[in-house]
Each structure stands twice: as C-alpha cells, then as structure tokens.
Amino acid sequence: MRKRPNLKPRMERCGEVLIPDPAAVKGRWKTEFPGYDELRLEIGCGKGGFTAALAASEPEMLLLALEKSPDAMIKGMELVCSEGIGNVRFMDADALLLRDIFAPGEIGVIYINFCDPWPKSRDAKHRLTAPGFLRSYADILPLGGEIRFKTDNRPLFDWSLDALRSEGWEIRDLTNDLHKNGVCGIMTDYERKFHGMGIPINALTAVKTQATKCGADGVPERLRNAALSDARGAGL
C-alpha cells in the first residue's frame, strides 16, 4: 500500500506507542514492559477503535496491536495518544511473522476481529484462521491461551470453526448472534455498523490444549519469506 506523504511526521509524533523493530523484543516483552499482568495481541487493529476501548477497560494488561497498513494504524495511534491510554503499543508488521516477534508462551490472548474472508478457495491459506496461522498462534500462546474471534461472515466462521477443531483447539462461547440479547462486550467499528444493519455477529473463543497442533508445519515458507522481504524493504 502506498503511504501518505504526511504519514512519517504523524508516526513520529506518536512515537511513544510505536514499536519500530518488534523482532528485537522477542523473548523480552515482559522485561521491556514490566508491571502488566498479561500481554495480549490484536491482529489487524485497523483504525484502533476497539484497541483503545479494550485497553482503557483493562489497564492491568498490555495490548500489542499489529497492523500491516500504517495509513490505518496511525489513526489508532493518534486516538490512543490523545486519550492518554498508556497500555497499548502498535506494530507495523505482518501476522506471517509472529514467530519472529514472539517467543513461545509470550502472549496470553489473541484477538482476530472481522478479518478479510478471502472467499476464493485458492486463497484459503491467506485467511487468518487457516491452519498455518493457527499453528503460529499456538506457538506463541501458553497452554490455556486463547484466540477470541469475531466476524459477520458466516461462511468464514464455519470454515474457521472446522479448522480450529481439526487443529485441536477447545471451542468455548460459540455464538452465531453475539448481540441477540443486547450489546455484548466492546464493538469494533465494523461490528457497530453491521449490528446497526441487523447483521448477526458470529463469535467464539478457542483455547490452546495439549492436543493443539503447533510447530514447524505452520505458515507456508513462501508466504513468510515474502513478508520478511516486505518488512526489510520498509526498513523494519
């Protein structure tokens, strides 16, 4: 994505909440950011509305917000800075590189909200709930760690549910209409829009167990290498 001309100075003004080289912190996140009960990760934070609200509601945890579109992420950074929310850090990075950023067990909870459904079968490997990604998540979560997943897209949800079960995750809090009896939890901007249109929101929590698959058979090496090349080209 082409970056806007004023992006760099805006990022610099919010430098206190940006992790410029997240891979350099691998294995040391809790040492670098002491005093928090838990580290959590949001994959695809977009403009950061959910990010800011969640962090403000749970100041005892550190929320790490990952987004590969800096034009969107800067809006979240500016929101967090303007509201004085101190327990958020942003990363301009690709979810393909999670193993390069986090050591095993460093993250307690992963949030995946309204991700791209990649509807064509040939693109299924790009879905954030594809088996390759799920094994990356399993690598950085401890036993009992969670993925919290929400989407308006029922075909993606059903496909993801099958993938999670096949990969050995325990499924909890499954619903195909999260807000049926009133708003439940913190909404994303997309979620608020879809809920206003009467579109039901699908949600679940997936828990890592002894049966959960992890390890080297994760993200295809070709995709990971492409993401690494992009990161180096961006100076990350």
Confidence (pLDDT) at 56: 98
SS3 helix, strand, coil % of the chain, rounded to 5? 40, 15, 40
3-state secondary structure of 132: helix
Question: C-alpha angle 14/36/94, rounded to 5°?
Answer: 50
pTM summary value: 0.91
Phi-psi region of 232 (alpha: psi -120 to 50; beta: other; left: phi over 0): alpha
Give Cα separations from 34 to 7, 30, 51, 116, 232 (angstroms): 30, 5, 20, 34, 29
Confidence (pLDDT) at 222: 54
Full set of structural domains in the chain with CATH: 7-233 (3.40.50.150)
Contact 186, 203 (CB under 8 A): no
Confidence (pLDDT) at 233: 54
- Cα–Cα distance measured from residue 215 to residue 178, given in angstroms and rounded to the nearest whole number: 32
Give Cα separations from 187 to 148, 150, 194 (angstroms): 13, 10, 10
The residues assigned a catalytic role are: 116
Q: How many CB atoms lie within 10 A of CB 185?
A: 15
* DSSP H helical ranges for 58-153: 70-83, 98-101, 131-140
> For each of the chain's 236 residues, which pLDDT tens digit applies?
455 679 999 999 999 999 999 999 999 999 999 999 999 999 999 999 999 999 999 999 999 999 999 999 999 999 999 999 999 999 999 999 999 999 999 999 999 999 999 999 999 999 999 999 999 999 999 999 999 999 999 999 999 999 999 999 999 999 999 999 999 999 999 999 999 999 999 999 999 999 999 975 555 555 555 555 565 555 54
Site of tokens 């990161």: 231
